[in-house]
A = this chain, B = another copy of it.
Amino acid sequence: MTMTTPALVSQVLLEAPLDKDRDAAPMQRQLHHRIKEAILDGRLAPGSRLPGSRALAEALSISRNTVTAAYDLLAAEGYVQSDRQGTRVATLSRPAPPRMLQTKGTPPSIPAIALRLARIQPSVPRADAGATLRPGVPALSHFPLAAWRRAVDRAIRHAGPSALGYGDPLGEPALRAAIARHLGIARGVRCESAQVVITEGAQEALALCVRLLTNPGDTAWIEDPGYRGAKAAMHAGDLRLAPIRIDADGLIAQARRHGAWIIEDDYDSEFRHAGESIGAMQGLVTQAPVLYVGTFSKTMFPSLRLGFLVLPQALLAEMQTPLEEMLRGGHRYEQLALAEFIESGQFSRHLGRMRRLYRDRQQALREALTRYLRLPHVIQGGHCGLHLTVRLPARYPDHRIADAARRYGIAPAPLSGFVLRPMPEDNGLVLGYGNTSAELFEPLVRRLSQLIRAAEIF
């Protein structure tokens, strides 16, 4: 089985010298990595003998302990086997994965997939994280990352190994209490912490609502234009979607009459820029038939993936058991860190700073649009949140503009993509100002202005 001599192996390993810079990875790790690569890509075949640790250490001018540590690790991972004759590349029980997939032969027939997949419409290709004017992204560079890092680290140290296990499937009690309290003050939401269910962002909360409240074929009335994610969750639940235009009071009355539930996705009201703060619909009347959905994606950061669902008291008893079966809790250290972040006031302080920043950015974007967007347009929105909507005549198709903009690293979202059955008047761009610095607005709007004109259909 010895198909390669140690000399050849040394050659493979010595192709390029190890990096002995102070900032480089430790020798042991470099060596381990290099041998693993060579095994995986086939340069070191199964059965090949590796050089003795002493010989290799000398050849590489590193300590012998380093070599044996790297070999031990490779053995633990199953890449090599050691016996009295030395160390050999293991005969992997099956060949390395990627190659095998290129075998010839008849492809398997593709069995049925879910019908609902056809209803889930592909969105515009995802923009780079760094793209400007992308809606729904908060000011990432203004997030107090160092403080958050300390909070997570503290949570791990304080909670210790006990929080490694399964916790409350509905979320850490400390976080649910902190959220209930914050919502009461900030959004007028009426709830006890037992009604708060922690979810994987608003998206899981919406999916849960669908699974808890609907049967396949039910009709969901949805705000339109509205959040794409809500529509995806409803399509996944085999619902029929119908657009609705109605205000909060009317909605509650309608819902009561028809025995329906309202899902209130209160995703950006924490950032209010003008007018008096409007409380959440959930708190407008006692025992409103409302499931309130919130997220920390905008108020903290998107990759935290932490949202919540506030169940009506009336549903709690019936929902608790199925929820405990469907959810698993988890991410406990992050949840504990966030609870501390809220209770210590760091969260409110951050919100206050961001409110000022976004108010300024919104005003600056509005001014830039007024001055540099030399086209007929109407600016909408802006009372709260992180985006403005610019409606455009139908002769400038929004999808074409968005496609062209992406090539310049600009990521406005086409308005028509938020509408269930778009009409010619549902044309425009949704411009996010959350994560784009105000100095860039002038050049960005000038560029957009050009791109819009170039997209015109005659």
A325 and B211: CB pair below 8 A? no
Q: Which residues of B contact A332 (CB under 8 A)?
A: 303
A314 and B113: CB pair below 8 A? no
- What's the Cα separation between A204 and B208 when bound, in Å? 12
Interface assignment of A185: CB less than 8 Å from any CB of chain B: yes
Interface residues in A93-150 by Cβ distance below 8 A to B read 93-94, 96-98, 100-101, 103, 105, 107-117, 120-123, 126, 129-130, 137, 140-141, 143, 145, 148-149
- The interface bits of chain A over 148-170 (1 if a CB of B lies within 8 angstroms of the residue's CB, else 0) are 11001100110011111111010
- What's the Cα separation between A110 and B79 when bound, in Å? 60
Q: Please give me the residue from chain B that is nearest to A332 by CB atom.
A: B303
Interface residues in A204-232 by Cβ distance below 8 A to B read 204, 211-216, 228-229, 232
Interface assignment of A315: CB less than 8 Å from any CB of chain B: yes
- What's the Cα separation between A351 and B318 when bound, in Å? 41
Q: Which residues of B contact A302 (CB under 8 A)?
A: 164-166, 328, 330
Q: Which of A33, A96, A117, A319 has the most CB of B within 10 A?
A: A117
Give the number of chain A interface residues (Cβ < 8 Å): 127
Interface assignment of A373: CB less than 8 Å from any CB of chain B: no
Interface assignment of A256: CB less than 8 Å from any CB of chain B: yes
B126 and A324: CB pair below 8 A? yes
Nearest CB in chain B: distance from A123 CB, A: 6
Known: A129-B166, A326-B232. Contact between A314 and B97, CB under 8 A?
Answer: no
A325 and B228: CB pair below 8 A? yes
Q: Please give me the residue from chain B that is nearest to A351 by CB atom.
A: B76
Known: A192-B97, A259-B111, A332-B303. Contact between A73 and B164, CB under 8 A?
Answer: no
- What's the Cα separation between A336 and B289 when bound, in Å? 41
Interface assignment of A333: CB less than 8 Å from any CB of chain B: yes
Known: A76-B349, A259-B112. Contact between A322 and B286, CB under 8 A?
Answer: no
Q: Which residues of B contact A161 (CB under 8 A)?
A: 140-141, 143, 145
Nearest CB in chain B: distance from A286 CB, A: 5
Interface assignment of A191: CB less than 8 Å from any CB of chain B: yes
A92 and B289: CB pair below 8 A? no
Residue from B166, B188, B229 in contact with A137 in the complex, judged by beta carbons closer than 8 Å: B166
A318 and B114: CB pair below 8 A? no
Nearest CB in chain B: distance from A347 CB, A: 9
Nearest CB in chain B: distance from A321 CB, A: 4
Known: A129-B167, A200-B330. Contact between A348 and B73, CB under 8 A?
Answer: yes
Residue from B183, B315, B324 in contact with A110 in the complex, judged by beta carbons closer than 8 Å: B315
Residue from B123, B157, B258 in contact with A325 in the complex, judged by beta carbons closer than 8 Å: B123
Q: Which residues of B contact A113 (CB under 8 A)?
A: 212-213, 315, 318-319
Interface assignment of A381: CB less than 8 Å from any CB of chain B: no
Q: Please give me the residue from chain B that is nearest to A128 by CB atom.
A: B165
- The interface bits of chain A over 254-271 (1 if a CB of B lies within 8 angstroms of the residue's CB, else 0) are 011011110000000000
Q: Which residues of B contact A101 (CB under 8 A)?
A: 190-192, 286-287, 313
- What's the Cα separation between A214 and B73 when bound, in Å? 43
Nearest CB in chain B: distance from A66 CB, A: 14
Q: Which residues of B contact A148 (CB under 8 A)?
A: 156
Residue from B116, B212, B349 in contact with A211 in the complex, judged by beta carbons closer than 8 Å: B116
Q: Which residues of B contact A361 (CB under 8 A)?
A: none
Q: Which residues of B contact A167 (CB under 8 A)?
A: 129, 303
B32 and A114: CB pair below 8 A? no
A232 and B325: CB pair below 8 A? yes
Interface assignment of A29: CB less than 8 Å from any CB of chain B: yes
Q: Which of A78, A305, A321, A322 has the most CB of B within 10 A?
A: A322
CB<8 Å pairs between A and B, sample of 25: A73-B345, A76-B348, A77-B345, A78-B185, A79-B185, A93-B188, A94-B283, A97-B180, A101-B191, A101-B287, A109-B259, A110-B314, A111-B213, A113-B213, A113-B315, A117-B322, A120-B322, A137-B166, A145-B160, A149-B153, A152-B153, A166-B303, A200-B200, A302-B330, A303-B333
